[in-house]
Structure 1
Amino acid sequence: MESREEESLQAQSQTQSHFSVQSNVRTKTDIAWEHVTQVVDEKGKKAWICNFCQKVICGGGINRVKKHLAGVKGEVAACPKVSPEVRFTMQGKLKETAQKEKEKRTTSVTILDDDEEMEEVEISTVKKGKRKSTSNLHPFFTKGINDPSQSTIKSAMQSKAKIHDVDLAIAMWFYDAYKIASIGYGYKAPSYHALRVNLLTYAKKSVSLIIDSLRSQWVDTGCTIMSDGWRDVSQRHLINFLVYCPKGISFLKYVDASDIESNAINLCNLFAEIVEMVGEKNVVQMVTDNAVNYKLVGTKLCEIYPFITWSPCTTHCLNLVLKDLSELDNVKSLVNLASRVTIFVYNHKWPLNWLRKRPDWKEIIRPGATRFGTVFIALQSLYGHKEDLQAMVISNEFKKMLKVGNAVECKQIVLNEIFWNNCLITVKVMTPLLKLLRLCDSDEKPAIGYVDP
């Protein structure tokens, strides 16, 4: 280590031997001056020597030095020995400079437009022989501060899609409520007994009529029995049975299979009972999970009913694929590093408050316990916050957090470019599978017509 420092000092002394060093460089306020040494050659021209790689930068001023340290290609070669923290700081300074120039141009254009508008107003008032007062205030409160029609901050920040959905729900309620208005004055609402007995019976009959209309379709075109296994808050293994036909999907029944889920024979008898309930001549396909016991059930059902085919659930298969991929050593170590950063941010108030003040900030998605796809979605979400996290760990305020446990480790992970490159590669590789999972797991439309077999 000492030999390397001696070689660096020798290289710096040899480079500066051709120039005369100016002592007033350190008095400059720009942070980039701390990483270069300003010199003057024999002809009296200024130049700068990088303190990291000893490269001589001639001309261009401090902006060119920043591009050298930030690794911006084009005007000057990137510094190969600069630390990640300095590189990120210089990149942020260049972005701030570009943003200020953009705002300056926008402000100048706006002032020019306002001057032209004011000139037109003055000319028009002179022609009419009147003087009108002008105001630069935006007319947010056109009817005064007590105007109830003014929108609230919360409603103004809602997306157009959410507002449209709420408007549509209210409209549908009004369209249905016209029946109440059409009956006229003097109508009395139904009693408690009527709601829980008589009217409930009629509502059940109307639903039964809809199911009967679907049953007639089962006979004509055939149907598919779909089973959806899940666990409730009491960890009971419940199975929902649904019947699909081109006319629609109907819920058949649910069964508590906690005592038979591990027994393939009992499960097979349960599925056979469902087939008999729907009608064995009407069923053409059975769709279940891809677990071992369900595979055995599907094989036995095909033996009992040769005209019925068994198919595994595509969503469950994709979840199993994502589970296997998430258990790879490289992915597991990457997810472990990402979770350390996320846990540190959400376990401490200052980092979370600092990040939430960043423009266009969105919460970091954390992996769920039951959805293997969220592991890769969380990596994608964390990669989208790369710049915000790096800006946080190199800020002066973060130095106070270095005494807190895991703060140093979090800073090292965030400033590690290899970690971010691995995140990017993993996200790009897994994006097609995630899109397919999202398509197959959607309840909005059948996915078989959109998936290329």
Structure 2
Amino acid sequence: MVFVKSVDASDIVKSPRNLFKLFDEVVTWVGPKNIVYMVTDNASNYVSAGKLLCEKYKTISWSPCAAHCLNLVLQDMGDMPHVERLKKRAFKVTVFIYNHVALIAWLRKKPGWTDIVRVGATRFATTFLSFGSLHVHKHDLQALVTSKFFVDNRLARESKAKEVVSIILNNSFWDDINVLVKISLPLIRLLRIVDSDQRPAIGYVYEGMHRARLGIKKIFRMKKHLYKPYTSIIKNRWDKHLRKDLHATAYWLNPAFQYDEENLCRKPAVYMAVLDYIGTKYDGDKEKL
């Protein structure tokens, strides 16, 4: 990884044309033949600038940030009414626990106890990471609110405590959290891959999005009316931001998936995407192609 340059653009209007000029300077300096793929922010002005660059340099591909796209998927899921309601209940549990030192002290004596990831006001993956952390602590929390230590404590007679106890002992609350944890797990796993510098991530995006959608369908036993609200969110973001021939081609070229049990490389849609990409970006002798 090499840092090329930074620009103080504070006094520049961030219009698509001005952004295009800034990007074009870098492309000219590096050399169009040395650039395969360009990633920008998902904002509309950056999207337009990226498209302008690809129109000028036919061999360069562009797409918005995959990590941002996945964050938007998780944000859309987090904004679903039933998830919002569940988040508020989970927030009440964590706030109540962490507002009372005696309760935390009791929990920290439990073998293997780790702090709960708090449900924060921030968007994206925080909500689902918090659900996962809370679910791990289900039995410890239930043990706490049914223990003699808690029941005999005057704190247990407060209205807030009674509300929290009813949430913790409600099996449907935990069932709903478990479903959302399973739904978000493949998306968060893919988010960690694309947001990491440990290995090139582009070859994993196509398969990761497919696996996420298929996993959700299996959770709901392929019942369309149950899984569609979630898969529709993924599809809308995927089609809008990341459904590129580039990602299908990178998937097809990834040795990790060429011999996979569920090999999508043989699907006609993937083949066509690879051929379209090569046909569009190839800049050599057309007869040899």
Q: For 2:177, which of 420, 423, 426 is the aligned residue? A: 423
Shift of 1:292: 1.8
Q: For 1:436, which of 190, 195, 206 is the aligned residue? A: 190
Query: CA separation in 2, counterparts of 1:437 and 1:285?
Result: 19
Q: For 1:334, which of 86, 100, 120 is the aligned residue? A: 86
Match of 1:306 in 2: 58
Query: CA separation in 1, counterparts of 2:12 and 2:74?
Result: 28
Shift of 1:262: 4.5
2:175 aligned partner, one-letter code: N
Q: Label 1:348 to 1:257 Cα distance change in 2 as closer, same or farther (>3 A).
A: farther
Query: CA separation in 2, counterparts of 1:367 and 1:269?
Result: 42
Are the aligned partners of 1:364 and 1:381 in contact in 2 as well (CA < 8 Å)?
Answer: yes
Shift of 1:344: 1.2
Match of 1:359 in 2: 111
Q: Give me the TM-score of the superposition, normalised by structure 2.
A: 0.65
Q: Label 1:450 to 1:296 Cα distance change in 2 as closer, same or farther (>3 A).
A: closer
1:318 aligned partner, one-letter code: L
Shift of 1:365: 1.0
Are the aligned partners of 1:260 and 1:267 in contact in 2 as well (CA < 8 Å)?
Answer: no
Asked if 1:290 corresponds to 2:42, the answer is yes
Q: Label 1:421 to 1:284 Cα distance change in 2 as closer, same or farther (>3 A).
A: same
Q: For 1:445, which of 187, 190, 199 is the aligned residue? A: 199
Instruction: Give the count of matched residue pairs.
Output: 205
Shift of 1:323: 1.0
- SS at 2:5 equivalent: strand
1:440 aligned partner, one-letter code: V
Q: Label 1:263 to 1:347 Cα distance change in 2 as closer, same or farther (>3 A).
A: farther
Match of 2:264 in 1: none
Q: Label 1:254 to 1:329 Cα distance change in 2 as closer, same or farther (>3 A).
A: same
Q: Label 1:375 to 1:409 Cα distance change in 2 as closer, same or farther (>3 A).
A: same
Query: CA separation in 2, counterparts of 1:429 and 1:339?
Result: 20
Q: Give me the TM-score of the superposition, normalised by structure 1.
A: 0.43
Query: CA separation in 2, counterparts of 1:373 and 1:437?
Result: 9
Unaligned runs of 5+ in 2: 208-250, 252-289
Asked if 1:374 corresponds to 2:116, the answer is no
Q: Label 1:276 to 1:430 Cα distance change in 2 as closer, same or farther (>3 A).
A: same
Higher relative contact order (CA 8 A, sep 6+): 2
1:71-150 to 2 correspondences below 5 Å? none
Q: For 2:4, which of 237, 241, 252 is the aligned residue? A: 252
Query: CA separation in 2, counterparts of 1:257 and 1:438?
Result: 30
Q: For 1:411, which of 165, 173, 188 is the aligned residue? A: 165
Query: CA separation in 1, counterparts of 2:30 and 2:105?
Result: 56
Query: CA separation in 2, counterparts of 1:333 and 1:311?
Result: 34
Shift of 1:261: 7.1
Query: CA separation in 2, counterparts of 1:371 and 1:256?
Result: 28
Are the aligned partners of 2:16 and 2:46 in contact in 1 as well (CA < 8 Å)?
Answer: yes
Structure with the bigger percentage of helix: 2
Query: CA separation in 2, counterparts of 1:396 and 1:258?
Result: 61
Are the aligned partners of 1:287 and 1:312 in contact in 2 as well (CA < 8 Å)?
Answer: yes
Query: CA separation in 2, counterparts of 1:250 and 1:405?
Result: 58
Structure with the bigger percentage of strand: 1
Match of 2:73 in 1: 321
1:448 aligned partner, one-letter code: I
Please provide the CA RMSD for this pair. Answer: 2.1
- SS at 1:255 equivalent: coil
Q: For 2:141, which of 378, 381, 389 is the aligned residue? A: 389
- Percentage identity across paired residues of the two chains: 50
Asked if 1:347 corresponds to 2:99, the answer is yes
Are the aligned partners of 2:90 and 2:119 in contact in 1 as well (CA < 8 Å)?
Answer: no
Shift of 1:396: 2.5
Asked if 1:278 corresponds to 2:30, the answer is yes
Query: CA separation in 2, counterparts of 1:261 and 1:337?
Result: 44
1:123-202 to 2 correspondences below 5 Å? none
